[in-house]
């Protein structure tokens, strides 16, 4: 960096850092200068200190690692934010005993007619007991308060109070593709099973009470803060069931107007109407243009649902669903319309057999209306066949993978065998085929939103339960995995060049992890959090020695919201470290005085 004649004054200067920039031209640095929402200098101490002025906030990174902010290329942030304050999270909880203790405490404080909900992010294999909770245990804990517990796309547990609340009785018929499990007398037991369609699970969950608009605002802010806690600064929202546009996007619209978004969000539009999908997209292509919006909230195209007949649900406990014959014609019409209107799109695609049929459709569309340089994405692609990787590449496509196998790999191995699991998905072969490959979580209803669990899966090839799925030939090294989670994922929202690197002129999005990702033992990767997160030049989260720089977390509303008592992801197995606090089962950054409105923590916390 050469000294300019008129050097502007930085607003924030961070120095004494070990910076991995993800910029090939300047891969390592020790200091950055930030003005507005951009990096204005990245280099060594003497170079960057030239930007220090009388009002510059100077932060000593204490030789910690600094990385670009993490970017999840497939998550359900908008839907997750609307419901975050309603949900008791079991993400990271180490045992069934701990999970049930939290459930009991939340049941005792939740007022009628509200439910207690555990909605995804956990697997039985994370528990010490290696088992699910039972309906008997749940009913004993909650005789009167409705409880709904979702496990993957596989099943939901409803206690007797929840069955009464939703009106499921002996006379309630099974919906298509779903089962209401019954006892010998024909009465519902409380177990709902996707066979293999998850619609029964989502439709039942949607019957519960919702938060008010103001509480949804608060809930979304807290979910974004929870993502900031792990160093996430950007995501692509992949739409989702019961996430209607534009109604369910009003909270994000308002937060964007207020300047209160702390996770940059590019959103895809997900059709909600079976047999009317083309009508939805015709309306949206008339009213909305891709890549429009603000730097914090922008439109990203169609998907991940394009037509319901193409939905190949990934419940690996169940046999692979055979898609109906009508799928091809329906998918052709929607895809043709999107390509004609130059709308980027993404498609949920789990199984290789389904993907081959999708590609037949896309190739047919391409002959009629060339894809040219249109960005399109296959999501998930766990069992994509190797010969189809070339077909994706020839059409200019890309693939976004998520760590769903980290949560259900054991089920896949039980059904298909360990050898079949070795390339689910075949990430290294995707990269060798020259594809852009995105990485993420698919949170919140299957995997957890914790990006470090996903990074752990990418580099170790292991499930959260410790099962080794992948040989070395299908694992990533840490540099490559982190590159994909930062600079690489920027491609999926057409933002390469403006984010994903610590580089002059790019958005000043960064994270200082609690441990050095490149040095810690494998098992410690999934315990990493962020101790300082900056989005657009603004500090949005801080803990440990940076806690005084952190904006306070708002108290969750309503008062009984689980977040006020348990926080989000449970890192109770975290090793000791600076500024880390623990109490009987949940270990976290202590911001409880923000939650409880007092100057002390009432959860028996202590500092190492």
CA angle 544/548/552 to nearest 5° reads 105
- Each as own residue / partner, the long-range contacts of residues 517-520 (CB below 8 Å, 24 or more positions apart, any chain) are 517/65, 517/67, 517/455, 517/478, 517/482, 518/20, 518/65, 518/478, 518/479
Query: Taking 60 as the threshold, does the pLDDT of residue 356 lie above it?
Result: yes
Q: Average pLDDT for residues 331-348, to the nearest whole number?
A: 98
Q: Average pLDDT for residues 19-34, to the nearest whole number?
A: 98
Distance CA 159, CA 489 (A): 41
Query: Taking 90 as the threshold, does the pLDDT of residue 71 lie above it?
Result: yes
Distance CA 430, CA 458 (A): 14
Predicted local distance difference test score (pLDDT) of residue 573 = 66
Predicted local distance difference test score (pLDDT) of residue 107 = 98
For residue range 591-607, what is the model confidence (pLDDT) as tens digits? 333 333 322 233 333 22
Predicted local distance difference test score (pLDDT) of residue 313 = 84
The model's confidence at residue 6, banded by pLDDT at 50, 70 and 90, is: confident
Got the DSSP string for 97-116? Answer: HHHHHHHHHHHHHPPTTPPE
The model's confidence at residue 494, banded by pLDDT at 50, 70 and 90, is: very high
Percent of the chain with pLDDT over 90: 91
For residue range 421-449, what is the model confidence (pLDDT) as tens digits? 999 999 999 999 999 999 999 999 999 99
Query: Taking 70 as the threshold, does the pLDDT of residue 249 lie above it?
Result: yes
**Both tokens of residue 406?**
């980290």
Confirm if 464 and 125 have CB atoms less than 8 A apart: yes
Distance CA 229, CA 551 (A): 12
Distance CA 334, CA 306 (A): 7
Query: Taking 80 as the threshold, does the pLDDT of residue 583 lie above it?
Result: no
Which H or E run includes 324? none
Strands 587-588 and 581-582: antiparallel
Strands 31-35 and 12-15: antiparallel
Strand order in the sheet with 538-542: 28-29, 18-20, 65-68, 510-513, 530-535, 538-542
For residue range 203-245, what is the model confidence (pLDDT) as tens digits? 999 999 999 999 999 999 999 999 999 999 999 999 998 899 9
The model's confidence at residue 5, banded by pLDDT at 50, 70 and 90, is: low
User: pTM, whole model, 2 decimals?
Assistant: 0.93
**Strand-pair partners of 508:** none
Which residue has better confidence, 315 or 344? 344
For residue range 41-66, what is the model confidence (pLDDT) as tens digits? 999 999 999 999 999 999 999 999 99
Angle, to 10 degrees, between the axis of helix 405-416 and the axis of helix 451-460?
40
Among 465, 353, 355, residue whose Cα is nearest residue 403: 465
Domains of the chain, first to last = 12-69+509-549 (2.30.40.10), 75-205 (3.10.310.70), 308-492 (3.20.20.140)
Predicted local distance difference test score (pLDDT) of residue 230 = 98
For residue range 291-306, what is the model confidence (pLDDT) as tens digits? 999 999 999 999 999 9
Average pLDDT over the chain, rounded to an integer:
93
Predicted local distance difference test score (pLDDT) of residue 589 = 34
As a whole number of Å, the end-to-end CA separation of the chain is 41
Predicted local distance difference test score (pLDDT) of residue 580 = 33
Query: Taking 90 as the threshold, does the pLDDT of residue 585 lie above it?
Result: no
**Strand-pair partners of 267:** 237, 299
Range in 158-162, 193-197, 340-344 with the lowest mean pLDDT: 193-197
């Amino acid at each position: 960096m050469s000294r300019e004649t008129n050097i502007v004054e930085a607003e924030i200067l961070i120095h004494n850092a070990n910076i991995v920039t993800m910029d090939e031209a300047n891969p390592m640095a020790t200091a950055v200068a930030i003005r507005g929402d951009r990096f204005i200098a990245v280099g060594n101490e003497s170079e960057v200190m030239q930007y220090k002025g009388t009002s510059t906030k100077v932060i000593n990174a204490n030789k910690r690692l600094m990385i670009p902010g993490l970017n999840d290329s497939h998550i359900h942030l908008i839907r997750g934010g609307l419901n975050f304050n309603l949900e008791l999270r079991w993400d990271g909880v180490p045992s069934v005993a701990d999970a049930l203790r939290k459930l009991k405490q939340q049941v005792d404080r939740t007022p009628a007619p509200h439910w207690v909900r555990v909605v995804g992010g956990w697997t039985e294999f994370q528990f010490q007991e290696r088992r699910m909770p039972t309906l008997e245990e749940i009913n004993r804990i909650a005789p009167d308060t409705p409880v709904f517990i979702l496990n993957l796309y596989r099943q939901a547990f409803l206690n007797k109070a929840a069955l009464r609340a939703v009106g499921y009785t002996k006379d309630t018929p099974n919906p298509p593709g779903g089962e209401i499990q019954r006892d010998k007398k024909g009465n519902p037991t409380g177990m709902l099973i996707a066979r293999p369609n998850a619609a029964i699970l989502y439709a039942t969950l949607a019957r519960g009470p919702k938060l008010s608009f103001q509480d949804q605002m608060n809930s979304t802010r807290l979910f974004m803060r929870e993502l900031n806690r792990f160093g996430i600064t950007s995501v692509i929202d992949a739409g989702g069931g019961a996430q209607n546009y534009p109604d369910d996007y009003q909270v994000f619209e308002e937060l964007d107007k207020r300047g209160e978004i702390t996770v940059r969000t590019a959103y895809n539009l997900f059709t909600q109407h079976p047999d009317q999908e083309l009508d939805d997209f015709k309306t949206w292509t008339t009213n909305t243009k891709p890549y429009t919006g603000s730097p914090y909230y922008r439109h990203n195209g169609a998907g991940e649902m394009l037509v319901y007949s193409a939905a190949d649900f990934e419940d690996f406990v169940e046999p692979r669903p055979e898609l109906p014959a009508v799928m091809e014609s329906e998918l052709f019409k929607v895809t043709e319309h999107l390509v004609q209107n130059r709308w980027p799109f993404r498609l949920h695609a789990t199984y290789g057999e389904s993907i081959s049929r999708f590609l037949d459709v896309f190739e047919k569309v391409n002959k009629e209306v060339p894809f040219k340089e249109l960005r399109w994405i296959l999501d998930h692609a766990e069992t994509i066949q190797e010969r189809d990787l070339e077909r994706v590449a020839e059409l200019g496509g890309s693939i976004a993978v998520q760590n769903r196998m980290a949560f259900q790999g054991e089920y896949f191995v039980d059904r298909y065998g360990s050898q079949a699991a070795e390339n689910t998905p075949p990430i290294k072969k995707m990269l060798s085929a020259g594809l852009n490959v995105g990485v993420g979580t698919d949170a919140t209803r299957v995997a957890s939103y914790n990006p470090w669990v996903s990074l752990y899966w990418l580099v170790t090839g292991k499930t959260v339960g410790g099962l080794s799925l992948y040989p070395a030939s299908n694992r990533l090294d840490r540099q490559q995995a982190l590159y994909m989670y930062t600079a690489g994922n920027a491609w999926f929202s057409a933002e390469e060049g403006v984010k994903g690197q610590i580089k002059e002129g790019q958005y000043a999005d960064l994270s200082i992890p609690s441990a050095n990702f490149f040095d810690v033992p494998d098992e410690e990767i999934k315990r990493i959090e962020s101790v300082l997160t900056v989005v657009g030049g603004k500090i949005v989260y801080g803990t440990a020695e940076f806690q005084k720089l952190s904006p306070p977390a708002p108290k969750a509303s309503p008062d009984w919201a689980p977040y006020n008592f348990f926080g989000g992801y449970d890192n109770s197995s975290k090793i000791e470290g600076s500024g880390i606090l623990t109490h009987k089962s949940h270990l976290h950054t202590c911001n409880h005085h923000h939650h409880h409105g007092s100057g002390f923590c009432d959860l028996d916390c202590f500092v190492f």
